[in-house]
Structure 1
Amino acid sequence: MKRIWIFFLALFSIVNVYAQKFGYVDTDYVLNKMPEYKEAQQEIDKLSKGWQEEIKELSGKIESMYNELQAEEVLLTAEMKKDRLAEIKKREDELKAYQKKIFGFEGLFFLKKKELVKPVQDKVFDAIEKVCKDQRLAIMFDKAGDLVMIYTDPRHDYTDYVLDELGLGDPNDVIK
């Protein structure tokens, strides 16, 4: 975190020395205005709910195995109880592996989200690049990113320019 602040302080000092133009854009706002992003999000939500239901079902089966074991425990020999516990443990391990495969780092959920959202993000970044070139901006910040902006002068907000570049701007809005 300290390195990030040092980087931005150095960046701002360079900007001040050379008087470069800068601006910011709210990519979350832009993305939420895009129909293809909303469709991607709906698809991701649908997939996620399906996978969560599968996991919930598998978890329910494991829980019922525990309940059966508790109900029959007095009738089981030590060896039978050990075998059942081993089977339950095996199912729990399989469930954890499945959860990791779906929702873990680089899991199916992550990959599908990347597949669906990246083309939309690339479209936004291309529009931002064009706006930067058209407006002769040296630096463009993302208001939606990790950089905390305590104060922003609205004249440096280029979100509407990016929306216009994507064909999503308000035709009644005059931003120039």
Structure 2
Amino acid sequence: MTKTSFIYFFLFSFFTFASLISAYSQRFGYVDTDFIKSQMPEYNEAQAEINKISLQWQEEIQNKYKEIESLYNKLKAEEVLLTREMKDDRLSYIKKKENEVKEYHNKVFGYEGLLFLKRKELVKPLQDKIFKASAKVAKDNRLQMIFDKSGDLIMIYTDPIYDFTENVLEELGIGQKEEQSN
């Protein structure tokens, strides 16, 4: 083994060993944000408002589709009495109405539509509050990372001593209320 290859081998071994030691010294924790949100009255109120608005919009769109169906039925009933030009005009009008309803549906329920914006308006401040409390809990417990077990992260095994959900609830002032009520 040459002196240069020995130095490369030594440096590689040193950095591998150093990275292993630093990995072992890192501390991780996890929280269940779905559970935390379910314990937040303001989140439940926001969800109720979002559901109410969503149902109103769905009902409005359904009524517009019923109106279009009524126009189709009326056209079918009067079809034998209409000239080809009159029938085409009505069909064109009905198609225009259908397109308007589809556009409105996309405006409300589509990507970054009105429902998305309303959810963002109502829920984002609450999520920020949870993230801020999680960051404080992480700093207080000297954690390098906190995972959300209710997200896409799959946890095969979790040791309850690393579950900091209760700490975040306490930081939000929610856990203390429950203890007082017991």
Which stretches in structure 1 are left out of the alignment for 5+ residues?
Answer: 1-12
Deviating above 3 A after TM superposition, structure 1's stretches of 4 or more consecutive aligned residues are 13-16
* Counterparts of 1:50 and 1:171, CA distance in 2: 38
- Give the alignment partner of residue 79 of structure 1, picking from 71, 75, 85: 85
Q: Write the deviation string for residues 90-122 of structure 1: whole angstroms up to 9, x where unpaired.
A: 000000110011111111110011000011111
* Counterparts of 1:162 and 1:141, CA distance in 2: 13
* Counterparts of 2:156 and 2:24, CA distance in 1: 23
- Give the alignment partner of residue 167 of structure 1, picking from 155, 173, 177: 173
Cα drift, residue 77 of structure 1? 1.1
Cα drift, residue 14 of structure 1? 6.8
Task: Tell me what 1:9 maps to.
Answer: none
Q: Does 2:27 match 1:17?
A: no
| Secondary structure at the counterpart of residue 146 of structure 2 | strand
* Counterparts of 2:44 and 2:146, CA distance in 1: 24
Q: Does 2:101 match 1:89?
A: no
Cα drift, residue 17 of structure 1? 2.6
- Give the alignment partner of residue 43 of structure 1, picking from 21, 35, 49: 49
Provide the aligned C-alpha RMSD in A.
Answer: 1.6
TM norm structure 2: 0.84
Which amino acid in the other structure matches residue 179 of structure 2? P
Cα drift, residue 21 of structure 1? 0.4
Cα drift, residue 15 of structure 1? 8.6
- Give the alignment partner of residue 114 of structure 2, picking from 85, 99, 108: 108
Which amino acid in the other structure matches residue 103 of structure 2? A
- Give the alignment partner of residue 64 of structure 2, picking from 58, 75, 100: 58
Task: Tell me what 1:3 maps to.
Answer: none
How many aligned positions are there? 160
| Secondary structure at the counterpart of residue 171 of structure 1 | helix
How many percent identity over aligned positions?
A: 61
